[in-house]
Structure 1
Amino acid sequence: MKNMDKYDYCLLDSATTHSIFNNKIYFSSVTLCKAQVKTIAGSAEIIDGSGNATIVLPNGTTLHIENALISGRSNKNLLSFKDVRRNGYHLETLVENTVECLCVTSYVMDKRIVHEKFEATASGLYCVQIRAFESYATMPWKLVNPDIHGLWHDRLGHPGTTMMRRIAQHTKGHPLKDTKILMSNEYFCESCSQGKLIIKPSIEKVGYESPSFLQRIHGDICGPIHPASGPFRYFMVLVDASCRWSHVCLLSTRNVAFARLLAQIIKLRAHFPDYPIKKLLMSIVQHWE
């Protein structure tokens, strides 16, 4: 069956912002998207995607429509006046034998040419017969996923741009060759950016000070831990500012932190009597569940 010879009906509407078709044969490609349309009964998700469509009117007038919508659950097709005007045609109404008609016209050398003529129905709407463009009706339909490049980039283990282009050019069975993103550097991968991020060391706030051993100790209490390590849900970390000495102890509650801290200070003073502790900076980092 030749789809190009099959006619379908379409309503011409001056109030709609986008043309909506319920058959994929009018599209060269469709980008998947979900959109809500407000109706009298409320909002409904009836839009399956969008893309460039081409339709042919009964007398052979071809209309190319950008960003047309596709809805497989729609009962009728809808053609916007705006899309007709964008193709360089005018829409004029006239009355012939007490019958109101809508004409698709154009002007060449100040001469008015009528390309199509549609009679109004009993409801006052204009119903038009349309058919698919010949090249679209015979070509295989392509469904484009806007994030297909990111999907394969993730599956292949986040290769670089050069490696991604080589893989796409020398493998079969995927639609990556048809994506324009391989020829540009517009793709952004958050995971790759975080993995290649280089953080410079922060500037020392106290550059002139060189504390000796145990002159300044920093401490943090973190928790609660989830899942808990037995009866312990918190831990305390003590780090000396002058060397790599550190101490970690587990806490059942934060109420025992002071006793553990005091016991550790007594041990340090007993083991290193020549290095008194002058400063102790404590901070509490709490993660709420």
Structure 2
Amino acid sequence: MNEGITEQLLKLDLKSAKKDESFNNNNKNYRGRGRGQGRGRANEQERDFNNNNQEREENSTRGRGRGRSNSRYEKSQVKCYNCNKFGHFAKECRAPKSKVNEKVNYVEEERKEDDILLLAYKNNEKCEDGTWYLDTGASNHMCGKRSMFVELDETVGGNVSFGDDSKIEVKGKGNILIRLKNGNHQFISNVYFVPNMRSNILSLGQLLEKGYDIHLKNNYLFLKDNIGTLIAKVPMSRNRMFLLNIQNDVAKCLKACYKDVSWLWHLRFGHLNFGGLELLSKKEMVRGLPCIKHPDQVCEACLLGKHFRKSFPRESSSRAQKPLELIHTDVCGPIKPCSLGKSNYFLLFIDDFSRKTWVYFLKQKSEVFGIFKKFKAAVEKESGLKIKAMRSDRGGEFTSKEFQEFCEANGIRRSLTVPGSPQQNGVAERKNRTILDMARSMLKSKKLPKEFWAEAVSCAVYLTNRSPTRSVWGMTP
């Protein structure tokens, strides 16, 4: 009887030894601290599984103890045999075995090429025109459709390198017009035109250079402008990318404008906004002006010529009660290239009471004092009034000794802005912007050389003096 018990004990020891050996070799089974076996999960590469575990993705063992042990295999150190990335197994890899279908950043440098662009690109994925990938690996914004550009400089070249070692030539750089949620329009500027590229790319690096703030939190990308206003909140997609849907807009073709009366008068008034044209028509400020209707389209030349900038105050702290009580002045330039008359600057004088504007063209800033004396003599003789005050910045052309002595001798009070605060001379600064916007729009619409800028500025001043302004409601300067 004792021999039988001994034999049974020996068999139990042999079974226990085999179990321990299997545990140490395969490292697949885990035991809980309860009286029975614990329940756990572990995954291995297919090539490492034995015949009993190849058909199962997870191994589970059940225990009958009070507690339960849930031990998970640490995947952070696991390298996928298919894509050579860490964090998952080959059978979990989403990339096909033939080639990787994940987004990659590919860098290739050649000294002979001027522009080799970094690109994060996903193969075999179709992209709608309004979908843009926000990419930290791209050095520039890129788009593959010529029709999306409202302005394109085809002299810009270079190459884009893709993840499959292919290259596509850059055929230009330009601006793309988009419509914001509030109905306003804006440009995506300095976008490279890469023909046949499937995806539109927004370079986060290029946005950072322009002062945008980019913040990642809780699987969202937050994009803010330079004053902290939230521009976009982009969720992370399943493939860990950030896609932004932007509505592309098409500008009104100028060739189709001439048959439309409203568009025709918009062009005649130097691309004056349609609100101003409607006011001219309703108040009958202009003889022969027909009824103006605000169109749904946007003017291509206006968008190209009128840039969005930080606004200046529309109103000064105190308004003049009579003409020539206060004159605002400012010099704009140097402007390249020089005009047909070899001028590099233009000088504006604005009457605070009526907002009437005078323009003079200069080759050098040193001519300002002489021009001011001519301007003073002309307007005082024409109106029969005297200039009482003048507001300007602290440029050397306005603070010279001879200028100061002349103003004191003629009873002209000077008002100089604080250094670094152009907003204090907001009337002149804003008028500069209005004149330049109109001039650029006219040159763009007619495709004239930049050397005609002085003629365009002169025409713009003539038109603004005959256009409505909020500062003088119901009348023109």
User: Normalising by structure 2, what TM-score?
Assistant: 0.25
Task: Name the structure with the higher helix share.
Answer: 2
- The higher relative CO (CA closer than 8 Å, separation ≥ 6) is in 1
Going by fraction, where is strand more abundant, 1 or 2? 1
Q: TM-score, normalised by structure 1?
A: 0.39
